[in-house]
A and B are shown apart, each in its own frame.
Chain A
Amino acid sequence: MPRRQPQPTGRSQRKKTRPAVAAASPSRRKQLAALAAESDRQLEELIARRLALPLDKRMNFLRRRLPGGGSCL
Chain B
Amino acid sequence: MNAAPLLSSLLAALAEARLEAVLIGNAAAALHGAPVTTIDFDFMFRDTPTNLRKLKAVAQALRSVVLRPYYPVSKLYRMVNDDTGLQADFMPVIHGVRSFEGLKRRATTAVVGGQSVLVATLEDILKSKKAAGRERDQAVIPILEQTLRATRTR
Tell yes or no: A59 within 8 A of B by CB: yes
Query: Are B112 and A46 interface neighbours, CB within 8 A?
Result: no
Q: How many residues of B contact A (CB 8 A)?
A: 28
Tell yes or no: B96 within 8 A of A by CB: no
From known contacts A43-B143, A47-B146, A51-B151, infer whether A62 and B31 are also in contact, taking CB-CB under 8 Å. no
Tell yes or no: A38 within 8 A of B by CB: no
Closest to B5 in A: A59
Contact of A65 among B31, B34, B85, B150 (CB under 8 A): B85
Tell yes or no: B11 within 8 A of A by CB: no
- B residues at A contact (CB < 8 Å): 1-4, 6-7, 26-27, 30-31, 33-39, 85, 87, 110-112, 143, 146-147, 150-151, 154
- A residues at B contact (CB < 8 Å): 40, 43-44, 46-48, 50-51, 53, 55-56, 58-65, 71, 73
